[in-house]
Copies of this chain bind each other. A is one copy, B any other.
């Protein structure tokens, strides 16, 4: 025996119920995106390396380089946002709602508990365009976040902050801006805590009011603009009917370099989980990223859904899957010659949209074939050589449980599909 066979560290295979659930979630999210007029794009798994540098702060070290052997250096994409900005610049596109679903790559320390992988899915919606009224695109993106989790039947809290309020707050109490690059350190958190304690009530408006009632803070121009935008955003979120899920949270800081305005993270309510599993979607406004590629600047706002964590949560709460019952197994009597009749019948049924399988060993005992079919809850179409009409097998339909094959109804060979479909519909109705 050699060493164990494995996927590379921090990667996984997708199979069975996992991939079914995943495709199902993609369909639901894609549907929400389309209802908002979103256009799908798909970019290469790798980009020119130079495009990815200076975008991710200290996380740049997590980027996977390709071993180039000549040619322009390339690297696996770290997210879908920078490739989107590159695409906008390359095609000189000024206004679009685009979405993309794909894998991204980070040479991070994998952690199963934290749901952190080296290859994982992102699912992004971004609204690009300068010809927009303030906060109209931002509100739509936050609304999409609410709608996606509504469609997935997950209760969530959307924490919102504004980069300008954050910047203003830290410049006003003379705290270094750098301290928030990757979250907040202890001193900052203490100061923030003290500040936030003045306001015992949760929710957006009270905290914003507290903020603006502080003369030191309300004099700060960044904070003034940030608060103004947040208030407008809240009006729009009320119009969309999703304001209840949104909380202003001054303690929210996102690490990436490129955010310039509103930032948000979607979490499960802690009361539900006991512990926080981290954000399951996050995003914000990034008005300057495209200008790193192009002479035209294009303000953007977007959100990225963390599919892997969402799937883990959905899977934990899921009922065990019912077996599919639309599968048909065509079996023959022990007469091996019927294998070609199984094939012809299988083809006919598949052409009618019925999933069919049959045992690849022609001479397996009929009872054994029926047992296998029963395990998969399949209905069985049983080809039976009729003594009276040699070479012209009759077809019997056996619906599960297949205990009494003798009493199975015999199907008229002239209208197999119609009768098979009727039986399937009946089986589905009874199940």
Residues of A that sit less than 8 Å from B by CB: 1, 4-9, 11-16, 19-20, 23, 32, 34-37, 39-48, 51, 64-69, 71-72, 74, 76, 86-87, 89-90, 97, 103, 105, 107, 119, 129, 131-133, 136-137, 139, 143, 147, 235-236, 238-242, 293-295, 327, 339-341, 343-344, 346-347, 350, 353-357, 360-363
Contacts and interface: CB of A to CB of B under 8 A. Distances in A.
Contact of A360 (B40, B76, B132): B132
Contact of A241 (B19, B235, B344, B355): B344
Contacts of A356: 35-37
* Pairs A-B, 10 closest by C-beta atoms: A132-B360, A239-B340, A11-B44, A14-B42, A239-B343, A37-B357, A65-B67, A5-B90, A35-B350, A136-B360
A35 B361 contact: no
Contacts of A346: 240
A36 B357 contact: yes
Contacts of A362: 133, 136
A41 B66 CA distance: 25
Nearest to A42: B14
Nearest to A31: B353
A402 to B, nearest CB: 18
A44 B357 CA distance: 29
Contacts of A45: 45, 76, 103, 105, 119
27 contacts: A5-B86, A7-B44, A7-B90, A9-B72, A13-B87, A14-B42, A14-B43, A16-B39, A19-B42, A20-B40, A32-B350, A35-B350, A35-B354, A37-B355, A45-B76, A45-B119, A65-B67, A67-B67, A97-B357, A131-B360, A137-B360, A236-B343, A238-B340, A239-B339, A239-B344, A241-B344, A241-B347
Q: Which of A6, A13, A40, A360 has the most C-beta atoms of chain B within 10 angstroms of its own C-beta?
A: A360
A84 to B, nearest CB: 10
Given A19-B42, A35-B354, A47 B8 contact: yes
A47 to B, nearest CB: 7
A135 to B, nearest CB: 10
Nearest to A118: B44
A48 B6 contact: yes
A383 to B, nearest CB: 13
Contact of A5 (B43, B89, B97): B89
B7 A47 contact: yes
B295 A1 contact: yes
B35 A5 contact: no
A343 B241 CA distance: 9
A16 B240 CA distance: 29
Contacts of A131: 360-361
A116 to B, nearest CB: 15
